[in-house]
Amino acid sequence: MYTIGMNIVVGVLRGGPSHEYETSLATGNVLLSHLLPERYTPRDIFIDKTGVWHVAGRPVSPVRVLEMVDVVLVGLHGEYGEDGEVQKILERHGVPYSGSNSFASFLAMHKVFAKKYAGENKIHTPRYVLIESPDDIADSIMTAVRAFIPPVVVKPVRWGSSVGVSLSTGYPQVHEAAVALFDEGAQNVLLEEYVRGREASVGVIENFRGEELYTLPVAEIIATRNEEFLSSDVKKNDEGIKISCPATFSKSQKEELLQSAMAMHRSLGLRHYSRSDFIVTPHSIHYIETHSLPELAEKSIFPAMLEAVGEPSPNFTEHLINLALSKD
C-alpha cells in the first residue's frame, strides 16, 4: 500500500465532464471533509469539464496520480462517473475504489436496461418508447402520444438525477423536447408514460450493521411549491423540495419499496451502496431509476436517510473506504 506514515492515502475524485459537475464538486468536498487526518492522507483529484485530471492545481495523468493512492472514493455523478467510464480507468490500474464496477455502473445508468431488470423482478415501471436516433423521432412520438395519456415524460437514456427530463403535452412540445436532447448530446431518448404519485427513494448499503444488505428508511421527496413534476432544477434548489425521512407511506408500501430497492441492487450487480427511486400511487409502485453513486452533499437524500438511523456521514465514508479495500 502507498501509505504515508501509518495513514492510508485516499484519493477523492470530484468534478468531471458531466451535466452534474457542480453536484459532484459538492459530494467530493464532503468526502474530503470526512477524512480524519490522524487516519487518512487525502488526495484531492479534481477532474475538469473536459476530463483532464488535476492534483494541487496542476494537470496530471490518471496513471501518475493513481500510483500515489491506496484507495479512491468516487465522488462523481452522471456521465463519466456513473456510466462506467471512470471505473474502467481505475480497474485498468488495479486501484481499489468505492461504488460499483464499470459494467454494473453502465447497466444502472442505462434506463432501458435497468427497466428490463426491473421487469425480470416483477417490479412495475412506466411504459416507454425508445428513440434510438434523431431519424426516429417523428414515428416514435406518434407511437407515444397515441399510447400514453398526456403529458409524456421526455428524458435522456443515460443522464442521471432528472437532468434533461421534461414533461411535455402534444406532438409539437414532445418533438421539441426530444430534438433538444439530441442536440445537447444525448445518445438515445426515452418517451415515458407519466405516472402521477408520490416520489419515494430507498438507500441500500452492503455489509452494514450486521446485514449483508441494509436498507435505509424510505424517504419521500416533496415539492414545496405547486410543482407537477420534480425537475432537476427543482431538486437542486434547497427551497424547492423537502425530504421526509422516514416517509409516511403505509407499512405494505414501505416493505415493497425496500424489497424492490434490494432486488434492483442485486440484479444490476451493484456494489457497496445505491439508491433507487420510485413513484408511489394508491394502487401501485413504479420503479424509475437506480443511482450507483448517490449524492452525498449536505441536504441531499442519502445523508438524510443516514441521519434518520443515527449514522454520522463521516462514519459512512469510513465504511465505504473499508468496503473498497476489502476483497469482494
**Residue 327: pLDDT band with limits 50, 70, 90:** low
User: Which amino acid type is present at position 277?
Assistant: D
Please check the confidence at residue 226 and state whether its pLDDT lies above 90. no
Q: Which alpha helices (DSSP H) does 164-269 contain, by range?
A: 171-183, 232-236, 251-267
- Those residues whose C-beta lies under 8 Å from the C-beta of residue 175, and which sit 6 or more positions away, are 137, 138, 141
Question: CA distances (Å), 283 to each of 38, 124, 204, 230, 248, in order?
Answer: 52, 11, 24, 21, 16
CA distance 135 to 184: 16
- pTM, whole model, 2 decimals? 0.92
Stretch 190-199: mean pLDDT: 96
Identify the structural domains of the chain with CATH numbers, from first to last.
8-97 (3.40.50.20), 107-124+195-310 (3.30.470.20), 128-193 (3.30.1490.20)
Helices 171-183 & 137-147, crossing angle to 10 degrees? 140
HSE toward the beta carbon, residue 83, CA cutoff 13 A? 17
Express each pLDDT in 154-191 by its tens digit. Answer: 999 988 767 789 999 989 999 999 999 999 988 999 99
Stretch 292-310: mean pLDDT: 96
Express each pLDDT in 74-126 by its tens digit. Answer: 999 999 999 999 999 999 999 999 999 999 999 999 999 999 999 999 999 99
Please check the confidence at residue 237 and state whether its pLDDT lies above 90. no
Mean pLDDT, the chain, integer: 93
53-55: strand order across its sheet? 58-59, 53-55, 40-47, 8-15, 71-74
Q: Which residue, among 188, 225, 218, 57, has the nearest Cα to 113 in the 3D structure?
A: 188
